[in-house]
Amino acid sequence: MLIKSSQDGFYHPVASEITSQRVYTGRRDLIKLMASGVAGAALASWASREARAQTPRPGKLAALPHVKSDVAGAVTLEKLTDYKDASSYNNFYEFGTDKSDPARHAHTLKTSAWTVEIEGLVKKPARYALEDLLKLSAQEERIYRLRCVEGWSMVIPWVGYSLSELIKKVEPLGNAKYVEFVTLADPKTMPFVGSRVLDWPYVEGLRLDEAMHPLTLLSFGMYGELLPNQNGAPVRLVVPWKYGFKSAKSLVKIRFTDQQPATAWSKAAPNEYGFFSNVNPSVDHPRWSQASERRIGEDGLFAKKRKTLMFNGYETQVGQLYAGMDLKKLF
């Protein structure tokens, strides 16, 4: 994020994850995916319908069954970012610091036999297999803006369900105030873990009421398909009113606590990245303005920047969470 990039010494050209993908049919992908053991059970009932439909989809990954959703007015009428841009211009520091690094390197991420552990201040701690997590609630497609702290944004149709569905199942105890999200840090498959850029694993956190807000999405897919590795497969968070770094990728643990979690970016640069990190055009980053943004895909030489909106445009839905708080201090 704030780091000057070109220190990656690793370059493994990948038989393109992206360019060849349009040639695949959904059925073939699904069979492949099921053979790999990921999400097989959850997707099985979808298989015959998918085989019949065979509509061209943006990627090469298996379709994720979903219903369209307009939870709390989350759908924007803006043009969607191209799948190619959304899956090739990424921040996923475990795979390098250049925007193109995750798409080039994240093929090494192993998403089979994935589990997510729920622990801490809950009545029902559990370890969920991904297949069970996929089935826990209906998958919905939600079009959210994601605004990165670096000044760019995208509009992406995410697929998942409100994190609150999972939280209700595990029953937080009365003293649980925060939720900590821990992501995979596997130096064998993630070449940049071990670099000193961040204190690994990448950890994020939300206040419990933020985590329970219906907009907070536990996401398994985008553009109707499973998440590409570089976008945080097999399961990530999307918190659309906060800067993109709050949307932790490749989750392995969700912990309920009574203390505000120490997050990776606030540990790395506490004066630059606060715990809340709500999108706020009137609170500048110490080194740059946050008043405007560049929409990925609209970036010709003379393209006009867009004005950044308070809470990334989700103020009516989430503003009340911060009533009475000084958002300049609690940035």
Report the C-alpha gap between 178 and 170 in whole angstroms: 14
Report the C-alpha gap between 282 and 314 in whole angstroms: 15
Least distance to ligand MTE, CB of residue 31, Å? 26
Q: Cis peptide leading into 201, omega within 30 of 0?
A: yes
Stretch near ligand MTE under the rule CB under 6 A, chosen from 11-19, 72-80, 247-255, 286-294: 247-255
Position 223 contacts ligand MTE (CB under 6 A): no
Alpha helices in 151-199 (DSSP H): 163-170
Decide whether 176 or 248 has the Cβ nearer to ligand MTE: 248
Sole binder of ligand MTE in the list 69, 247, 266, 277 (CB under 6 A): 247
Residue with the CB atom nearest ligand MTE in the bound state? 244
Sole binder of ligand MTE in the list 17, 29, 50, 94 (CB under 6 A): 94
Tell me the two tokens of residue 196.
Answer: 């000193």
Position 65 contacts ligand MTE (CB under 6 A): no
Position 266 contacts ligand MTE (CB under 6 A): no
How many residues belong to the site for ligand MTE (CB under 6 A)? 18
Sole binder of ligand MTE in the list 21, 69, 88, 91 (CB under 6 A): 91
| Closest CA relative to residue 101, chosen from 14, 173, 169, 32 | 14
Task: For residue 209, give the amino acid letter.
Answer: D
Position 245 contacts ligand MTE (CB under 6 A): yes
Sole binder of ligand MTE in the list 213, 249, 255, 295 (CB under 6 A): 249
Report the C-alpha gap between 95 and 127 in whole angstroms: 26
Stretch near ligand MTE under the rule CB under 6 A, chosen from 4-12, 56-64, 242-250, 319-327: 242-250
Binders in 171-190 for ligand MTE, by CB under 6 A: 183
Stretch near ligand MTE under the rule CB under 6 A, chosen from 9-17, 243-251, 301-309, 314-322: 243-251
Position 244 contacts ligand MTE (CB under 6 A): yes
Binding mask 267-306 for ligand MTE (x = CB under 6 A): ----------------------------------------
SS3 at position 49: helix
Alpha helices in 55-140 (DSSP H): 83-86, 101-105, 130-135
Stretch near ligand MTE under the rule CB under 6 A, chosen from 84-92, 107-115, 211-219, 268-276: 84-92
Decide whether 95 or 322 has the Cβ nearer to ligand MTE: 95
Number of Cβ within 10 Å of residue 55's Cβ equals 10
Position 216 contacts ligand MTE (CB under 6 A): no
Position 231 contacts ligand MTE (CB under 6 A): yes
CB 71 within 8 A of CB 218: no
SS3 at position 151: coil
Task: For residue 308, give the amino acid letter.
Answer: T
Task: For residue 320, give the amino acid letter.
Answer: Q
Classify burial at 67, counting beta carbons within 10 Å of its beta carbon; exposed 0-12, middle 13-18, buried 19 or more.
exposed
Decide whether 170 or 193 has the Cβ nearer to ligand MTE: 193
Stretch near ligand MTE under the rule CB under 6 A, chosen from 13-21, 53-61, 91-99, 317-325: 91-99
| Rg from Cα positions in the chain | 19
| Closest CA relative to residue 116, chosen from 105, 130, 134 | 130
203-207 and 217-222 beta bridge pairing: unpaired
Position 111 contacts ligand MTE (CB under 6 A): no
| Closest CA relative to residue 93, chosen from 180, 13, 204 | 204
List residues near ligand MTE by CB under 6 A: 1, 90-94, 146, 148, 183, 202, 231-232, 244-245, 247-250
